Amino acid sequence: MFDIRQFEVLRAIAVTGSLAGAARRLHYGQPTISYHLGALEAHLGARLVERRPSGAVLTDVGMLVLEHAGFVLDRLEAVEADVEARLSHGVSTLRVGAFGTAASRLLPGALRRATAGTDVRIELTEAEPLDLVALTRARSLHGAVIYDIGGEARYGADLHVEALFDDPYRLLLPARHPRAAVAGPVDLATLAADGWIISRGSYDPSDQTLFATCQALGFRPRVVLRSDDYGVIHGFVGAGGAVALVPELALQPGYDTVARVPVQDVGARSVRFVWPAGPPPPVVERLGAELRAAGRELHRAYGGADESGGIPAPDRRR
């Protein structure tokens, strides 16, 4: 029967190039190294290490055995890391979800800080808020970043819901648009003749806000394009083909566009963090704290977005 220490000895010899080096690496005496190597060679009936005046090298059979032994040792190390992570941080793999712009703008730094110094792995699910809520309710996710799905009753008592920040809607105009030439808020009534870009789906808070506001102003937006890709939206707006109402979190630089605050109160979408009812694992608590801090940083960055055309954001709309 194999002894894990035999595999450790073989790998140490391969790494250090000598039995003496393997002894130092493993904090064994050199006779112990020779004993485990001899036992492994006797069990397999093959010479695994060739001893030379300058050190030791693995034979072809030794390299073959080391390849398999490496997989075994790596898996055992993963078991140790997973148990340590579970005991220290509540989970070994943190399963978190987010809509697209949050996955790109909010989560990377927040997750890095929340899991720093741990062996916790991360699995990310990118989906629509309604789907993320369902996955979190089913405990397939430890938590998710969503935007408001319409009323507290939609979440249920089996979820914790925390508001992170409000993501205001901004009017995206071609840089050559007459309304872009004048700094300051833009009246949506002056854009009744323009073509608009809206979402492909039936539910999108910015679309609902746009149609409700325009209806109150006495016109219905003329839709010229439907897209859920913010890079596409910026590209078409920058080319002069349309205008759009987008969340500030989704504004992107590098396009021939200008972002303006509408005269009308078009509100904002509420970005929230949801997690299953009950005490959360420590790493989920840390993630929530980091997301709140990230939200505050974004709001500080938002101050210069109206005139510059936006702050860095991801390519996909949700």
Q: How far is it, in rounded angstroms, from Cα 298 to Cα 251? A: 12
pLDDT in tens, 230-265: 999 999 999 998 999 999 989 988 999 999 999 999
Helix, strand, coil percentages for the chain (3-state, nearest 5): 45, 25, 30
| pLDDT value, residue 233 | 95
pLDDT in tens, 19-69: 989 999 888 988 998 998 989 889 889 899 988 888 888 998 988 888 888
Model pTM above 0.85:
no
Helix (H, G, I), strand (E, B) or coil at 287: helix
Range in 161-170, 215-224, 304-313 with the lowest mean pLDDT: 304-313
CA distances 85 to 71, 75, 96, 107, 287, Å, are 21, 15, 16, 20, 15
Percent of the chain having pLDDT more than 90? 40
| pLDDT value, residue 314 | 34
Instruction: Say if residue 73 is exposed, middle or buried (CB neighbours under 10 Å; 0-12, 13-18, 19+).
Output: middle
117 or 227, which is more confident: 227
316 or 184, which is more confident: 184
| pLDDT value, residue 200 | 86
pLDDT in tens, 284-304: 989 999 998 988 887 676 554
Using pLDDT thresholds of 50, 70 and 90, give the confidence band for residue 197: very high
